[in-house]
Amino acid sequence: MILKKIYLSWRQGKGKSRFLVGILTREIPTGDAIVFKYQQEEVEKAISEGFLNYPEFPDLDKEYSINLKTALSLRLMPKTRADRYDYLSFWNANIEGLDWFDELGITQGELATDTFEFLAEFPKKHNGIGINFISNIAALTHLSLKNDCVEIGDKLRFELDSENKFDKNAVKIFKGINCLGFVKRGHNLFFHKVKNEEVEINVTNVEKNGKMNQIYYSIKVL
């Protein structure tokens, strides 16, 4: 069990701002007691862009703590799927001792039918070992990056964007001197715990079709 906190992220659509409308918290570090509640300030901002609720948690004022695994089961890869191993490997989630909550946060729980994501607040270390997780760069649609801007294996770095007027925790991702985009909200909190020399950041996968659509990268604490 690695994760204690996962943010429920919502956005109107691709290229739009993410809002951390809710938070899932593991109440006991070594247990399955999970609580979900909405973050009202973020909810109010999201409502202005069309947010209603998370369907399994319809009451914006209620705290949920019963049958959360069942409510979120569609977000998890079934154990009977033949490609489950490859899927977990893609996200660096083939780790002994993970439970469903860890898997949800590490794999982000995305579906093709909505715009929700489950973005973990990762610890710097777990059981004395540096964390190693996968994320993907935000704001690519605004930068119109060229197809050849990065290759798998490229080394990246980060800079805190303390003057960002939209997000005080904003973090930029660079290849050399070229900005590729931002760290996703939720994941960006991790980067405030570390320095560049403490982590190794590398491109692990890319999706492109005429333009760069996705850049996935690993973050490993040294």
Q: Are residues 200 and 216 in the same domain?
A: yes
Q: Are residues 217 and 179 in the same domain?
A: yes
- Would you place residue 87 in the very low, low, confident or very high pLDDT band (cuts 50, 70, 90)? very high
Q: Are residues 158 and 201 in the same domain?
A: yes
Q: Are residues 57 and 157 in the same domain?
A: no
Q: Are residues 99 and 139 in the same domain?
A: no
Q: Which residues contact 80 (CB under 8 A, 6 or more apart)?
A: none
CATH of the domain at 203: 3.30.70.2330
pLDDT at 41: 97
Q: Which residues contact 209 (CB under 8 A, 6 or more apart)?
A: none
Last residue of a domain, one of 85, 101, 121: 121
Q: Are residues 104 and 186 in the same domain?
A: no
- Would you place residue 30 in the very low, low, confident or very high pLDDT band (cuts 50, 70, 90)? low
What percent of the chain is predicted at pLDDT more than 70?
Answer: 99
Last residue of a domain, one of 121, 138, 173: 121
Structure tokens at 13: 């659509």
Q: Are residues 101 and 200 in the same domain?
A: no
User: Mind giving me the DSSP string for 43-100?
Assistant: HHHHHTTT---BTTB--TT--B-SSHHHHTGGGS--TT-TTHHHHHHHTT---TT--H
Rounded mean pLDDT, 159-188: 96
**Is residue 32's pLDDT more than 80?**
no
Residue ranges making up the domain that contains 209: 129-222
Residue 166, CA distances (Å) to 38, 45, 105, 188 in order: 20, 12, 24, 13
What count of other Cβ atoms lies within 10 Å of the Cβ of residue 214? Answer: 11
Rounded mean pLDDT, 28-45: 88
Q: Are residues 168 and 70 in the same domain?
A: no
Last residue of a domain, one of 93, 121, 149: 121
Domain count, the chain: 2
Rounded mean pLDDT, 140-154: 90
Instruction: Count, in order, helices (H) and strands (E) of the chain.
Output: 6, 12
pTM of this prediction? 0.95
SS3 state of residue 33? coil
Q: Are residues 106 and 189 in the same domain?
A: no
Any idea what DSSP says for residue 196? G
pLDDT at 31: 62
**Is residue 56's pLDDT more than 80?**
yes
Q: Are residues 37 and 114 in the same domain?
A: yes
- Would you place residue 210 in the very low, low, confident or very high pLDDT band (cuts 50, 70, 90)? confident
Residue 170, CA distances (Å) to 124, 139, 190 in order: 18, 12, 11
Q: Are residues 100 and 136 in the same domain?
A: no
Q: Are residues 176 and 115 in the same domain?
A: no
- Tens digit of pLDDT for each residue in 96-139? 889 999 999 999 999 999 999 999 999 999 889 999 999 999 99
**Is residue 46's pLDDT more than 90?**
yes
**Is residue 29's pLDDT more than 70?**
no
